[in-house]
Structure 1
């Protein structure tokens, strides 16, 4: 028997259904990150948010935590695939980050957090002395 749904679509749907499980009403934030021009950049999908009220970013030591909450709109729905409730994600920052200079922008449903990273210090050769 042939399935009407392409297999490539089945796995992402299963993953999406399990994102908050077994941790209750928390959903994972989908992210991408990269290093560029001496900066660590983290981008997160958070559509439909009011950044000043719904999104909270904190740094704890070498971890960056993003939390957000989207309140469910009250009206009769025939169908909904939107996630409501709390969204959270924590990532480990790379060595050399400068937490006091972190900045964040929100545009078209994408949160972008930019973390400056100090260049790694030069390596130096350590001479080994011989004792006899």
Structure 2
């Protein structure tokens, strides 16, 4: 069985190396969009950022992380979300062929526009999704204005 397991692992090794290289290239290419994303032990939560008429919303997938293990901080116009996904001890009686679920500490940072009302930022955590609402200042909300044609 050992030889077979080594064969399976060797089949996936080129793909794992390719995956790491693609991640590295994307990190370099998009470095200016965020202000810094730090990963250790292979865990970096995925994020969706979208805008509504009233706010900018950040949704981050953080399954398996307890609410108390997350920290959100706004300082000098930079919103930083950090946390830790605890390592699950793998049972020695199991013969793992592939382990993709990451763990460890992470930190994601995003520049917050001046149009955001910093005093009204709200965060909610439900079913492994962290949702942060960044409300816009009243003067920054878009209003449609009808323009008459002469």
> How high is the TM-score relative to the length of structure 2?
0.61
**For the residues of structure 2 that align with 1:61 and 1:54, how far apart are their CA atoms?**
23
User: Counting strand residues as a fraction of each chain, which structure ranks higher?
Assistant: 1
**For the residues of structure 2 that align with 1:90 and 1:44, how far apart are their CA atoms?**
12
- Residue ranges of structure 2 left out of the alignment (5+ in a row): 1-14, 28-37, 142-150
> How high is the TM-score relative to the length of structure 1?
0.69
Distance 1:82 1:116, change over 3 A: same
The answer to whether residue 56 in structure 2 is matched with residue 40 in structure 1 is: yes
**For the residues of structure 2 that align with 1:70 and 1:93, how far apart are their CA atoms?**
25
- Residue ranges of structure 1 left out of the alignment (5+ in a row): 1-9, 122-132
**For the residues of structure 1 that align with 2:79 and 2:49, how far apart are their CA atoms?**
12
Residues 2-81 of structure 1 correspond to what in structure 2 (within 5 A)?
A: 14=19, 18=23, 25=40, 27-51=43-67, 53-76=68-91, 78=96, 79-81=98-100
Root-mean-square deviation (CA, aligned residues, Å) is: 2.8
Shift of 1:100: 1.6
User: Counting helix residues as a fraction of each chain, which structure ranks higher?
Assistant: 2
